[in-house]
């Protein structure tokens, strides 16, 4: 099996221990050879993954390997892989911070003036801002993924939020996606504390 499996198992354990993958929420994926995508199966607990909890699909979502059902949200991962050839990993988490900041957001979330913005590649100064699109949550993944795709192709995105649901982010390696995730979660925690104050 792919080496990425053990890396994703460890990332799952880590993210769960921080409370970002509660219950059976979230899903983790990596692009492997021949544009296959390795992704956690539906309904698994991401804090206690085993090799059997992964499946492989092609870029259109056709099941190639594995006995379990791919997550329904696989389509959202694939939209990212298809549009960004350099992306090698997509991570989707349900943290309290991403759930609430997206729930409170009236429009795109703006992150501004934080030094930690420099964790996003291409950003060299705190004296800037990035926008994180907040999509209405939906269960129709085909419609939602088309909506996301329209926005992705405009570029300049580091991740997106689904309302009352969570964050999608990605990177050119599993490690880079994880670092970006840490940056987002940190910034969401900051923004949420400010948003909830009296």
Minimum distance from residue 149 beta carbon to its own copies (Å): 20
Instruction: State in angstroms the smallest separation of the CB of 27 from its own copies.
Output: 12
| Closer residue to its own copies (CB): 41 or 56 | 41
Provide the 8-state DSSP code for 148. Answer: H
22 is a contact residue toward its own copies (CB under 8 A): yes
Binding mask 48-87 for its own copies (x = CB under 8 A): ----------------------------------------
Closest CA to 94 of 30, 185, 8: 185
Q: Which of 2, 19, 68, 82 binds its own copies (CB under 8 A)?
A: 19
Residue numbers 116-135 binding its own copies by CB under 8 A: 116, 119, 124-127
By the 8 A CB rule, do 65 and 55 touch?
yes
If the CB atoms of residues 19 and 66 are measured against its own copies, the closer one turns out to be 19
Please identify which residue in the block is written with the tokens 């050839």: 85
The window from 32-40, 79-87, 153-161, 181-189 that contacts its own copies (CB under 8 A) reads 181-189
8 binds its own copies (CB under 8 A): no
The label of the residue with tokens 């910034």 reads 187
Q: At what angle do helices 141-152 and 74-83 cross, to 10 degrees?
A: 30
* Measured distance CA(110)–CA(131) in Å, rounded: 5
Task: For the beta carbon of residue 70, count every other beta carbon within 10 angstroms.
Answer: 25
58 or 112, CB closer to its own copies?
112
CB closer to its own copies, 56 vs 188: 188
DSSP state of 81: H
Closest listed residue to residue 20, CA positions, set 7, 31, 11: 11
The dihedral built from the CA positions of residue 175, 178, 183 and 186, taken in this order, carries a sign that is negative
Judged by CB under 8 A, does residue 142 bind its own copies?
A: no
Largest CA distance in the chain: 52
Binding site for its own copies (CB under 8 A): 19, 22-25, 45, 94, 96, 99-100, 103, 113-116, 119, 124-127, 137, 139, 162, 164-166, 175, 179-180, 182-183, 185-186, 189-190, 192-198
């Amino acid at each position: 099996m792919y080496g990425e499996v053990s890396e994703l198992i460890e990332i799952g354990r880590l993210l769960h221990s921080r409370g970002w993958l509660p219950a059976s929420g979230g899903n983790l994926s990596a692009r492997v050879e021949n544009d296959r995508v390795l992704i956690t199966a539906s309904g698994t607990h991401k804090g206690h993954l085993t090799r059997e909890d992964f499946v492989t699909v092609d870029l259109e979502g056709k099941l190639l390997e594995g006995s379990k059902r791919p997550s329904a949200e696989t389509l959202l991962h694939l939209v990212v892989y298809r549009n960004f050839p350099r992306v090698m990993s997509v991570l989707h988490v349900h943290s309290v911070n991403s759930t609430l900041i997206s729930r409170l957001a009236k429009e795109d979330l703006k992150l501004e003036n934080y030094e930690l913005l420099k964790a996003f590649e291409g950003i060299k100064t705190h004296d800037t801002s990035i926008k994180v699109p907040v999509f209405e949550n939906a269960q129709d993944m085909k419609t939602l993924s088309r909506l996301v795709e329209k926005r992705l192709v405009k570029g300049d995105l580091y991740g997106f939020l689904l309302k009352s649901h969570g964050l999608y982010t990605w990177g050119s390696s599993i490690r880079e996606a994880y670092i970006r995730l840490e940056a987002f979660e940190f910034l969401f925690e900051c923004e949420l504390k400010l948003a909830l104050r009296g």
